[in-house]
Amino acid sequence: MASAGMKVETNGWEPRIVAFFCNWCTYTAADLAGVSRLRHAPNARVIRVMCSGRLDPQFVLDAFARGADGVLLGGCHPGDCHYMEGNYKALRRVRLLQRMMKDMGIHEDRFRLEWISASEGEKVKTTINDMVARVRALGPLGLPERFAKWDEEMDGLAHAIAAHEEAVHA
């Protein structure tokens, strides 16, 4: 991982951001940004969810496992949720995910929660651009490649254990 002042060599790499946006606020704001021709980095792939509180933590982990370099969750401002308390549920899940990702060695800037109302198209633009810049500075996460390396290590360990067992029983 790169430190704050260190530039990461990426050989033309661009960050892949998965953005889960609440249907009622953030997704609508993203639509407003598009209609208003507010340009943001094309690195984010938006997935509409009915409510930020409906985002299963496994979706975030799967996004990273499948090659995302960052995940952005956008929801209604507290007190404005279409489903009353969905964004509070999202906040509790985000805190849990942040602790898990810290334990996994995933930098905190790779996962972000933003409250964005339907009228805040400009905030969608600035949030996406800021997240892309932060993740770009961190460099590729590369979890799929890490998984392959871990699998090789586990295979080597399994072979070593099997060889030891054979030697003991011979």
Identify the DSSP state of 10. -
pLDDT tens digits for 32-91?
999 999 999 999 999 999 999 999 999 999 999 999 999 999 999 999 999 999 999 999
Contact 77, 115 (CB under 8 A): yes
Question: What contacts 3, CB < 8 A, 6 or more positions away?
Answer: none
The tens digit of pLDDT for each residue in 84-143 reads: 999 999 999 999 999 999 999 999 999 999 999 999 999 999 999 999 999 999 999 988
pLDDT at 170: 78
Residue 23 and residue 48 in contact, taking contact as beta carbons nearer than 8 Å: yes
Please report the pLDDT score of residue 2 as a whole number: 44
159 pLDDT more than 60: yes
Tell me the pTM.
0.83
Check residue 5 and give its pLDDT: 43
Residue 115: C-alpha distances to residues 4, 62, 164 (Å): 26, 23, 55
| The pLDDT of residue 111 | 98
Select, from the ranges 7-21, 30-44, 147-161, the one with the highest average predicted confidence (pLDDT): 30-44
10 pLDDT band (50/70/90 cuts)?
A: low
Spatial separation of the C-alpha atoms in residues 65 and 57, rounded to whole Å: 13
